[in-house]
Structure 1
Amino acid sequence: MFMHILENSYFVLQLPGLKPKFYLQIKGGTMGSACTQVLADIYVQKWENEFVQQQQQHGELYLRFRDDVFLTTRLPQERIEKILSEINKKDPNLTIKLEGGKTVDLLDVITTIEIPNFRAKVFRKLAAQPYVLPFHSSHPIYIKRNIPYAAALRATRICSHSEDLRNELEKN
């Protein structure tokens, strides 16, 4: 079944004023598919096990959600780049790039190192902003009422400091 899904994955492209065109995806699978996400997790977990053990032995943090990874390290930048270069050579299907510093945006969280802890607050992606749904849209009223609640819940779950939470709630 997995092979059938991977070998028969199509996507549609429709440009303004033109008829839609169907294309066969020739490498990999659609990340929107539940089946493909499971396969990707299995594939990545196979090579990441050794790396995770190494992180744990050094008391470092390693978190992954699909293809986004957050980790901590005390290694110098040059050593990290060398390790990533070696990992990238092992498998042409996986490419890892380094984005780091004292502050990192990952998924919908801005994480800042404030020794001895982290500070977390909501990261607002421009493409996902703002929470707007026209009142006269055909969506049920409970959906419209849920938007402010969901935004407040998201902020409450993410913000590690009360002042950041207050600021985020005032924006919504």
Structure 2
Amino acid sequence: MGASCASFYANVVLHKWEHTFVLIPPWKQYILFYRRYLDDICILWGGSQDELRQFFCYINSTTNFLQFTHTVDPHELHYLDITLYKDYTQNVFHLHFESAHPLYQKRGIIKGQLIRASRICSTQEEFELEVETLQALFLERGYPLELFRTLAGEVSSLRNSLYPPILGKGSEALINSASNTLVHHTNSFAYTYSSNSKEMEEIIMHHWPVLALFEELKDFIPPKPSFVRKRGANFKEIFERKHDSKKKVKQPRLGTHRCGSCAQCHAISNESSLYIPSRNFRVHPTGFYTCATKGVVYLGLCTTCQSFYVGKTERELRKRIYEHLYDMAKKKETNAFFKHSLSCPGLNIKFTVLEQVELDARGGDWESTLGYRELLWQLRLDAGRSPGLNGTISIKPVLKLRRARL
């Protein structure tokens, strides 16, 4: 199949061939399972070996351009890159009945094996033989005969509803006599199993009829309570358990931090708080900010002489930082940091966010609100007085915000 269209033609041809010559009577009744990948076919045969040999001769005679080779094995089958095995439910290593495990686990082992047998065995006769084998196995492990027969009868009665065979439809007699079994699912009380479980369940069973006295609960509670027991901690888990069982809640990061993907990251303070010695004031941010945060009141602090500048920006913080650095490089005299660099040769500015002003859900004048918050921070830090670099502080934002609200 060297050409790109070869697999498509192979599927078309074999699809036509299998529906014309294979999946038809009388051969269809013997095919329990049929799968094909291109020209590789996997079949589980339900007829005799003589009928299987006749089937091989028949399919090789259906065309003059297809020649089939086959491999037959009652226990395993190699198909493509996998190997299929016949699964046996017999296991001599089942838990012994005398072991110190709760009874529901032992019942679960028996029922699980019976369900597997019901799903694997295609006919009722095969299922009954498998049940006899399992009965001998569990009796050898000390399980009571009455317990096994009770569970076997339960699984057998649900063989045509909850636990049908995976392959085939079972015996016709069983199908015709099948009854519509209704399964009612109820809520169960789930708890961790312990040595007091039996006593606790008896107490609940004893007082359960009290709930039936309430008319509003009659339609919601079953006649008997149902219990689901969870496995408790074993010795390994007990000894490996840490002394401090309280889970530590991870606190969110606060402060201004570098985004790690822009050229202005080097100018970010990258700290959770910032101390201004000249004002004896420590800034405690209430959120997590980066170079990309928008709508902020920011502080530019000179780490050499502790001079500072308070500003605002509606855009991303890194764009405003870039403008400051560009003005300093161009020696723009209107820039506060450039003017300060004339008297501070070792100028080193670090920026941090003082506050983020988010846009009101109802709208409003965001620019005026941002300017008002900037003014409050300038007054709080006395940014117009040395070593503040803001110079004259204007009250225009207050008037503008008041006018916008009017």
Q: TM-score, length-normalised on structure 1?
A: 0.45
Look at both structures and tell me which one has the larger radius of gyration over its CA atoms: 2
Alignment TM-score, normalising by the size of structure 2: 0.20
